[in-house]
Amino acid sequence: MATVTGLSRRALLGAAAAGLIADHAFAQAPFELDELTIAELRKYSSESLVTRYLERIERIDRSGPALRAVIETNPDALEIARAMDKEPSRGPLHGIPVLIKDNIDTADRMMTTAGSLALEGSIALKDSFVAQRLRAAGAVILGKTNLSEWANFRSTHSTSGWSGRGGLTRNPYALDRNTSGSSSGSGAAVAANLCAVAVGSETDGSIVSPAAMNGLVGIKPTVGLIGRSGIIPISINQDTAGPMARTVADAAVLLTVLAGVDPNDPYTKAGDGKRAADYSKFVGPDGLRGARLGVARKFFGYNRDVDALMEEAIAEMKRRGAVIVEPADLPTHGKFDDSEFEAMLYEFKDGLNRYLAGTRPSVGVRSLGAVIDFNEKNRAREMPYFGQEILLKAQAKGPLTEKAYRDAVAKNRLLSRGQGIDAVLAKDKLDAIVAPAGGPAWLTDLVTGDHDTGGSSTPAAVAGYPNITVPAGMVRGLPVGISFFGAAWSEGVLIRVASGFEAAVKGRRKPGFLGTAAV
């Protein structure tokens, strides 16, 4: 079939009917900062970087393709950048613009809302630990990114990337495709070169899945590597912030800045002596040589094209000196899905009630129950496409002292750790477990919600262990990622392996802002 600008006529007609044709002239127009790494950006002044990125956000995020990745820009970004230009360098992130997810508190003129209109107008009284670390490193917080509302813990029929406050984030590879979530805006923004790097957060899949579907590197670190105070919570046992970047090297720089002991997060004390001073030292082209990698085959089988791409990736890793062991499936695969959700319901209610009561005295909603009531009173704006079934389930739960909760947490830890990841790693003396990060982006569907295309995030998420996804290539014009996950505090090992894979495969491709995927 003949093509027009790389898109079939059938696809163009379908996209036109849906009103999703992007500005192809703009998509092909040069952008001076396009695909530049943090190291390459350092030759520019911070003021010039902020100016260029703000212009690009205005042109393609709020108009043009209208990605809606950025929910709010920082009105003080230029002033901060000028101040950074006058200071001596504080490190590799000095003066670099960074976007952060809109569930991470900043005590400035920006709101933190988790995408919910219930928190609109609300400004945190104190910087989150993440924001503190970024400012101390000289980074410029450029703005907040859109997300799946309440970090996708609201409805069983939700559409990832949609929030009441921010609307729908679109995938920059094909605008009718989903970004995945919940770090939807962070993923789309970095992919579209609206910033150098961004911070996402994950409870289960919310960094690695949008990273994969937006052609990015995403690092979900060990729970406790990065402090979580000032992040709107879901699960005390699984929540963590993490980097989203176009290269492993940039993700490692951001991880180094974010990692540290948070006096308001006791989980970070477990990382004493286990954090690396600089995660960049693990980055190199030969990271696959001698690495023992187990292939988790039970995560295959969702999509034949993805499976074929994974087979090519495994073959290339062998050629680069990796020892491939398979199958390396968890004997507990799929056995803790229900207990994970059960524990999260309890923890969300407890954590959100504490957060709203303690950090937002000026907000009208001070509890999960009040959020539910707000949504009911504002159904047209807050629930036009899906409801709040998960919020209602959480509200029905009791305190964390209940036996059902304690049993669920104990089951999660046993099956994901000792009888899960740790058992597999020990059996075959593995450095990491390998699996598809997921399938290509599904068509966004506001009627029936998200569509499962596979994913391997749950074991590491429930265990609280690290997981890194790296671009593996393209399937029908859409990016697909490969994930490496391993033992607690093994970020250095995973970064070494991931950077070796990145150097071997070079799987990232720039997005084209097409109206629909070329199929």
| The residue type at 477 | G
3-class secondary-structure state, position 128:
coil
Cβ burial, residue 276 (10 Å; 0-12/13-18/19+): middle
Structure-block tokens of residue 421: 């990841």
Q: Which of 148, 180, 201, 206 is catalytic?
A: 206
Which residues are CB-neighbours of 59 under 8 A, at least 6 positions away? 26
> Closest Cα partner for 186 from 251, 257, 108, 230?
251
339 included as an active-site residue? no
Cα–Cα distance between 346 and 234 in angstroms, integer? 9
Cα–Cα distance between 182 and 255 in angstroms, integer? 19
490 included as an active-site residue? no
The b/e string for 237-256 (b: 16+ C-beta within 10 A; e otherwise) is: bbbbbbbbbbbbbbbbbbbb
Which residues are CB-neighbours of 331 under 8 A, at least 6 positions away? 419, 420, 423, 424
Cα–Cα distance between 99 and 139 in angstroms, integer? 10
**Do the Cβ atoms of 69 and 169 come closer than 8 Å?**
yes
182 included as an active-site residue? yes
Q: Which of 46, 116, 122, 182 is catalytic?
A: 182
**Parallel, antiparallel, or unpaired for β 467-475 and 478-485?**
antiparallel
DSSP state of 123: -
> Closest Cα partner for 328 from 473, 198, 398, 433?
433
Q: Which of 101, 144, 349, 397 is catalytic?
A: 101
| Catalytically active residues, by annotation | 101, 182, 206
